Chains A and B, each alone.
Chain A
Amino acid sequence: MAATDEIRSLFPALSRKVYGKNLVYFDNAATVQRPQSVIDCWNRITRDSNANIHRAVHLLAEEATDAYESARDAVRNFINASSREEVIFTSGATASINLVAFSFGEAFVGEGDEVIVSEAEHHSDIVPWQMMCRRRGAALKVLPVDDTGHLRLDLLDSLITSRTRIVAVTHISNVLGLINPVKDIVARCHSEGVPVLIDGAQGIVHRNVDVQDLDCDFYVFSGHKMYAVPGTGVLYGKMKWLERMPPFMTGGEMVGTVSFSGTTFAPLPMKFEAGTQNFSGAATLKTAVDMALIMRGEGVGVNDGCCVSHRKELLENEAAVRDYLLDKLLSDNRIHLYGIPSAAEEKIPLFSFTVEGVHHEDLALILDKMGIALRSGQMCAEPLMDRFGVTGMLRASLVAYNTMEEAEYFISSLDKAIKMLV
């Protein structure tokens, strides 16, 4: 069996039909399909081990706590954090960024200070900083992108001043699909004493992330984009920051002692995990990590029962599909592609584009009826849409389970749809 067939068989949704046609799921950057292993993991905890974590001494509570905490260890290994206390569970990348924007802001940002974000950020990495700047009397500065979608890193040095308190930048933009040189960015910011948060919502899916190698101060991502269930997410933060940041939310098991005259807080990571956590969800991160490793051609030693011999083939297929789509979309003069890589390796298989004289909604509606699920609209990145002078785009985003046949069907369907509309 081909590697893609084998991997696809692990994802129940991929075999379904829509409007009588085979589903072609190209909206993976919004949320990826879920493997049976993750569904089983969630079901098992929900059915057999449903008990509130960290509190009771009974067996069910122990099982639930163990599932939750071993997911933390799995994530720690996955991103190579130096300690498990640096891995905070949240409800997603958005929640992680809000946590940092609030708590880091409380501790380290004051009147007249500055925060830098890039123009390629999605709203979740813009608005929390904007709100924080408003509260703290700070200014939000923007690192622009050029016409090809690359960050204008030549401007970074001049944007950083003695008042810059933090820089937030995406690892891979959800619109442009270009892999940003985040390690260099971190090094340059650190040389000026400025910490960096990396939004890894897309990055964690397509790159090997080693937070110690990147040396980033914060790295955030969502579970549902990397095969776990929705409502799960991770905030990685360096101990030196997390220890000095006040809690974001309070209550539940995140306290030390409580009296009406004052409260002390639990140590990390629980200090940032107020209230009953989404423990059945977070537990799936462990299973999801295994899948993410397989999809990246790694995961040696993962007991998945299949695909072991095929991992290289999966990676090669993903690169071939990306190269094919990049070539087809770039060479079609009706199509305008955003995020043009200098070399194909710089891009993940994520393609945002517009078609001359055609509204993105019309194309998305027609392609949907052809069985192809795409994203259309502003993609939660209105400033970037404004930058490129469009009201919206279409986006095809793939992962390693998507096939060359799907890519070819997409290209021919796109051509047919455009011809219907012009």
Chain B
Amino acid sequence: MEEQTKTLQETESEVEDEFSMFDEWLDKYEYLIELGKSLSSYPEEKKTDDRLIKGCQSRVWLDYKVEGGRIWFNADSDAIITKGIISLLIKIYSGRRPEEILSSDFSVIEKIGLKENLSPTRANGLVSMIARIREIAAENSQS
């Protein structure tokens, strides 16, 4: 559970910058695979159906808690590239106030070229995961 030291928009730009370094798709994937492997462990007992975001192919489990007015996300997937993207989402959105999360247009995934290219089918749970993050933020928002 790392504290955020930068604003959400700053972290978004940081991620965009990181990805702009890659010309080759396979390099992008290498990076995501590394991120996926280093994602902090997600407890087995929390891989429950109510936390499951089901795609046709990979499965994503999303858990969260609200502490000190901030939402902390933890997630896992059975597919490593999806896990890499989860790790990016956590880096950007976890430990933020709900209003901060809702102020994001979530276009970062698109900007780094992952939205179309990574979920060409209905299969990928990524889009549903983003929707769920927004939903959780909205449910916990004061305004």
Contacts and interface: CB of A to CB of B under 8 A. Distances in A.
Question: What is the predominant secondary structure among interface residues of chain A facing chain B?
Answer: helix
A314 to B, nearest CB: 31
A16 to B, nearest CB: 16
B57 A421 contact: no
A420 B26 contact: yes
B57 A369 contact: no
Contacts of B78: 359, 391
Interface stretch (A105-113, A218-226, A340-348, A360-368): A360-368
Interface in A356-393: 359-362, 364-366, 368-370, 376-378, 391-392
Contacts of B124: 361
Given A359-B58, A361-B57, A362-B81, A377 B123 contact: yes
Contacts of B56: 377-378
Contacts, number: 46
Most chain B CB within a 10 A radius of its CB, from A361, A369, A378: A361
A421 B124 CA distance: 18
Contacts of A377: 56-57, 123
A359 B80 contact: yes
Given A361-B57, A361-B123, A391-B59, A366 B79 contact: no
A19 B24 CA distance: 10
Contact of B80 (A362, A364, A392): A362
Nearest to B80: A362
Nearest to A366: B29
Chain A interface size range: 10 to 19
Interface in A306-337: none
B112 to A, nearest CB: 15
B131 interface: no
Contact of A369 (B25, B33, B58, B82): B25
A377 B122 CA distance: 11
Interface string B41-83: 0000000000000001111000000000000000000111110
Contact of B26 (A361, A366, A376, A391): A366
A420 B25 CA distance: 13
B82 A361 contact: yes
A420 B30 contact: yes
Contact of B79 (A359, A368, A369, A378): A359
A365 B123 contact: no
Most chain B CB within a 10 A radius of its CB, from A19, A359, A362: A362
B118 interface: yes
Nearest to B118: A365
A365 B55 CA distance: 15
Contacts of A391: 59, 78
B33 A361 contact: no
Contacts of B118: 365
A182 B58 CA distance: 35
Contacts of A369: 25-26, 29
B57 A392 contact: yes
A254 B59 CA distance: 46
Contacts of B58: 359, 361
Nearest to B120: A368
A212 B120 CA distance: 43
Nearest to A19: B25
B53 to A, nearest CB: 14
A376 B79 CA distance: 13
Contact of B57 (A360, A366, A420): A360
Most chain A CB within a 10 A radius of its CB, from B78, B79, B120: B79
Nearest to B121: A377
A100 B66 CA distance: 55
Most chain A CB within a 10 A radius of its CB, from B59, B81, B124: B81
Given A19-B25, A377-B57, A361 B79 contact: yes
B81 A361 contact: yes
Interface string A45-77: 000000000000000000000000000000000
A310 B79 CA distance: 44
Contact of B29 (A359, A360, A365, A376): A365
A421 B33 contact: yes
7 contacts: A361-B58, A362-B81, A369-B26, A369-B29, A377-B56, A377-B57, A420-B26
Closest 8 CB pairs of A and B: A359-B79, A369-B25, A361-B57, A361-B79, A361-B58, A377-B57, A362-B81, A362-B79
Given A362-B80, A377-B56, A392-B57, 4 more contacts: A359-B57, A361-B58, A376-B123, A420-B33
